Amino acid sequence: MEEHTDVTQLLDRMRDGDASASEAIIPLLYTELRAIAAHCLKSERRGHTLQPTALVHEAFLKLVDQKKAGFRSRGHFMAIAAMVMRRILVSHAGKRAAAKRGGGAARVPLDDELGAGGERNIDLVALDEALNKLAERDARKAKVVEQRFFAGMEMNHIAENLGVSLSTVKRDWEYARTWLMREIECCG
């Protein structure tokens, strides 16, 4: 199927060092994410909590031919998806926060909606800012967080992507998320 081969081939081209390929994937990814999200809205899944990471995973399955794509392709795809998902969620959270500040009590902020599940959500705008700050000093750690948090990537895929060992990624992750937590709590 066209979509399959398209993204699968684009990923192959990325692996071969073709920089324009990753940019070409983004619109396809948006379209697919949109379609999946719209489907969730229509179907019985409405109101249920859906992890953006699950959405990314679903998009991967839809867009990339599992049989033809190599393990690396998955990593490349997820890294792009993580970037896109970060943009989506952060800009959305930012808009909501802004709407809340300026436009009265029309909307409930993200973290209040999640009380029931026992999972607490963190302030994505603050996290984004903190991530930028972290990236200034240690871009790799910020990438680890981005790929883990926004795309739910497995540690070994992150390691593969960033060209470092698995243990380095694990160390980065523990340190970075702790550092970010403090940054959000103190300064956010």
Partner 1 sequence: MAELTPEQHQQVEELFEKALQIESELRRSFLDSSGAGPVVRGEVESLLSYHPAARDNIETAVVPSDAIAEAVDKAMASDFAHRAPDPATIGPYNIIERIGEGGMGSVYLAEQEKPLRRRVAIKLIKLGMDTRSVIARFEAERQALARMSHPNVARVFDAGSTENGRPYFVMEYVEGVRITDYCDMNRLGISERLALFGQVCGAIQHAHQKGIIHRDIKPSNVLVCQEDGNPIPKVIDFGVAKATSHRLTERTLFTEQGVLIGTPEYMSPEQAKIDDVDVDTRSDIYSLGVLLYELLVGALPIDTKALRQAGLDELHRLIREHDPPKPTTRLATLSDRAVECAQQRGTELSTLMRRIRGDLDWIVMKCLEKDRSRRYATTAELLGDLDRFAHHQPVAACPPSVIYRARKFVRRNRGFVVAATIVMIVLTAGVVSTIIFAVGESRQRAAVQMQADTNKAINEFLNKMIASVDPKKAKGRDVGILRDLLKEAAAEVGPELSGKPRVEASVRRTIGLTLMNLSLYVEAAPHLERSLELEQSLQRGSRADLAESLHLLGSLRDYQGQYDEGEKLLRKAIGLRPRNSQDDRAKLGASLIKLAEVLLNEGRLEDAKECMDESRQIHEKVFGQGAKETAPILNLLAVYHSQRGEYEHAESLFRKCLAARGESLDDVDTLVTIYNLGISLKEQGKYDEAEAQYRRAREGYSHILSPDHPASLAVSNALAVLMEKQGRHAESESLQREVLATLRRTLGERHPRVLSSLNNLGSVLFAQGKYQESIAIFREAVDLAREVHGSNHPVLAISLGQLGFTLRDTKDVANYPESERLILKAVSIFESTLPKKHPYTLNTLRGLRRLYAVDAMNDPAKLAGVESRLAASGPEIDDKEP
In the region spanning residues 133 to 152, those forming contacts with partner 1, defined by CB under 8 A, are 133, 135-137, 139, 145, 148-150, 152
Q: Token pair of 184, please? A: 């959000």
Q: Cα separation of 93 and 91, whole Å?
A: 6
Tell me: does residue 98 bind partner 1 (CB under 8 A): no
Q: How far is the CB of 102 from partner 1 (least distance, A)?
A: 16
Angle at 36 between CA 33 and CA 40, to 5 degrees: 135
Query: Of residues 97, 100, 177, 188, which one binds partner 1 by CB under 8 A?
Result: 177
Tell me: does residue 97 bind partner 1 (CB under 8 A): no
Which amino acid would we find at residue 93? Answer: A
Q: Cα separation of 5 and 116, whole Å?
A: 41
Q: Cα separation of 51 and 48, whole Å?
A: 10
In the region spanning residues 12 to 51, those forming contacts with partner 1, defined by CB under 8 A, are 12-13, 16-21, 23-24, 26-28, 30-35, 37-38, 40-41, 45-51
Tell me: does residue 106 bind partner 1 (CB under 8 A): no
